[in-house]
């Protein structure tokens, strides 16, 4: 459960206590700042930490259950911050999100991670290498965590930008099969926007209450710098969302044009097929008339009209010719034989 825990006195790390009780006692006796990092603790495990540092039960419940929106809340003299970290995975070309809860008290910082990011060990090493900032108190650790989360957004922005460029190339290249990938990328951008947009308000709240809670003026400048980067990321993500909407509209237009072309081709093929059917039907009718006449006069009944007539044979031939000629003329005028 406990990834790392240490006491920092005057910006420098002292010997790590062996238990939570020792950490709590050392923090009170030495006048330092305790920083405890937890990873997916259970209710029972986190209950011990909450009891030692007097964490509010509502914040504890949120930290255990997770699936919280990014927010900033204050319970007495304890600050509770929820952050959504993100990292870009190159192989699947997807964004992975993680949840981070930070409790900041007068002499302690407790972090609870639900997910792989962010890498707080890098934050810890950075702060231990910069004692001048670390000695500014627990708010300095919160600043460093916020800075790490925002910095981790940059590779995500570049990855999403590259994915959008690839989709644009495919769409304008006539590949209509990218609709599914466009929708998936749009969902990732929306989820990323949900993670980054509240961060600007969180930083504004921290800066607005800095003087009231005695935050060092130099640390306020660091927070403003993080806020500037967060605003920049927020603007980029908003641009991505708008761009994807335009790409999706263009893709739908391309799909519509292709479907129209397919319908047109099917219609032309149907018309051509109908012309062939009419042509075949016309010739079949023309050839059927002589066959019918020949069949009638070929029955050889004794009491049949014109059977013993002298001109019966030339009459039947003439009748066949005239009927065929009339039918040919009618079909020709109607365009069935063109």
- Measured CA to CA, the distance from residue 54 to residue 104 in angstroms comes to 11
State residue 81's pLDDT score.
93
293: nearest Cα among 281, 283, 306: 306
Q: What is the pLDDT of residues 216-252, one digit of tens each?
A: 888 888 999 999 999 999 999 999 888 888 887 777 7
**Could you tell me whether strands 33-39 and 108-114 are parallel, antiparallel, or unpaired per DSSP bridges?**
parallel
Is residue 81 within 8 A of residue 202, CB to CB? The reply is yes
Q: What is the pLDDT of residues 120-165, one digit of tens each?
A: 888 988 998 998 888 888 999 999 999 999 999 999 999 999 988 8
Task: Tell the residue number behind the tokens 């800066």, with chain if given.
Answer: 207
Domains along the chain with CATH numbers: 2-257 (3.30.460.20), 269-333 (1.20.58.340)
Task: Tell the residue number behind the tokens 């002499």, with chain if given.
Answer: 107
Task: Tell the residue number behind the tokens 């305790």, with chain if given.
Answer: 34
State residue 145's pLDDT score.
94
Our CA angle for 306, 312, 318, nearest 5°, is 130
Compare 194 and 256 and report the one with higher pLDDT. Answer: 194
Q: How far is CA 240 from CA 164, 167, 265, in A?
A: 8, 12, 37
198: preceding bond cis by omega (within 30 degrees): no
- Measured CA to CA, the distance from residue 237 to residue 193 in angstroms comes to 6
Is residue 20 within 8 A of residue 53, CB to CB? The reply is no
Compare 228 and 118 and report the one with higher pLDDT. Answer: 228
- Measured CA to CA, the distance from residue 238 to residue 190 in angstroms comes to 9
Is residue 107 within 8 A of residue 27, CB to CB? The reply is yes
Q: What is the phi-psi region of residue 218: left when phi exceeds 0, alpha when psi lies from -120 to 50, beta otherwise?
A: alpha
| pTM of this structure | 0.73
118: preceding bond cis by omega (within 30 degrees): yes
Tokens coding 144 = 């460093």
Q: What is the pLDDT of residues 179-206, one digit of tens each?
A: 778 888 888 999 999 999 999 999 998 8
35: nearest Cα among 188, 153, 139: 139
The DSSP letter of residue 277 is H
Using DSSP, state whether 203 is helix, strand or coil.
helix
State residue 176's pLDDT score.
60
Our CA angle for 46, 23, 72, nearest 5°, is 50
Using DSSP, state whether 15 is helix, strand or coil.
coil
């Amino acid at each position: 459960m406990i990834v790392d825990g240490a006491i920092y006195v005057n910006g420098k790390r002292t010997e790590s206590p062996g238990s939570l009780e020792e950490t709590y006692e050392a923090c009170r006796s030495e006048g330092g700042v305790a920083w405890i990092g937890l990873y997916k603790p259970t209710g029972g495990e986190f209950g011990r930490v909450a009891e030692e540092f007097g964490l509010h039960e509502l914040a504890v419940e949120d930290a255990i259950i997770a699936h919280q929106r990014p927010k900033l809340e204050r319970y007495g003299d304890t600050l509770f911050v929820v952050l959504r970290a993100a990292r870009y995975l190159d192989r699947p070309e997807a964004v992975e999100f993680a949840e981070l809860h930070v409790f900041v008290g007068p002499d302690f910082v407790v972090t609870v991670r639900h997910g792989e990011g962010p890498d707080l060990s890098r934050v810890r090493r950075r702060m231990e290498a910069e004692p001048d900032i670390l000695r500014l108190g627990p708010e300095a650790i919160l600043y460093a965590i916020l800075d790490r989360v925002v910095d981790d957004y940059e590779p995500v922005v570049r990855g999403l930008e590259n994915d959008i460029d690839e989709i644009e190339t495919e769409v304008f290249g006539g590949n209509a099969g990218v609709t599914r990938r466009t929708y998936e990328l749009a969902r990732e951008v929306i989820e990323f926007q949900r993670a980054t947009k509240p961060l600007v308000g969180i930083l504004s709240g921290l800066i607005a209450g800095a003087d009231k809670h005695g935050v060092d003026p130099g640390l306020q400048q660091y927070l403003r710098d993080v806020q500037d980067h967060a605003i920049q990321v927020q603007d980029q993500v908003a641009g991505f969302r708008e761009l994807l909407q335009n790409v999706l509209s263009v893709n739908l237009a391309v799909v519509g044009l292709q479907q129209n072309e397919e319908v047109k081709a099917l219609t032309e093929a149907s018309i051509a097929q109908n012309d062939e059917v009419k042509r075949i039907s016309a010739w079949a009718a023309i050839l059927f008339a002589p066959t019918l006449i020949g069949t009638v006069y070929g029955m050889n009944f004794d009491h049949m009209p014109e059977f013993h007539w002298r001109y019966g044979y030339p009459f039947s031939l003439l009748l066949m010719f005239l009927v065929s000629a009339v039918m040919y003329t009618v079909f020709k005028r109607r365009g069935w034989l063109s």
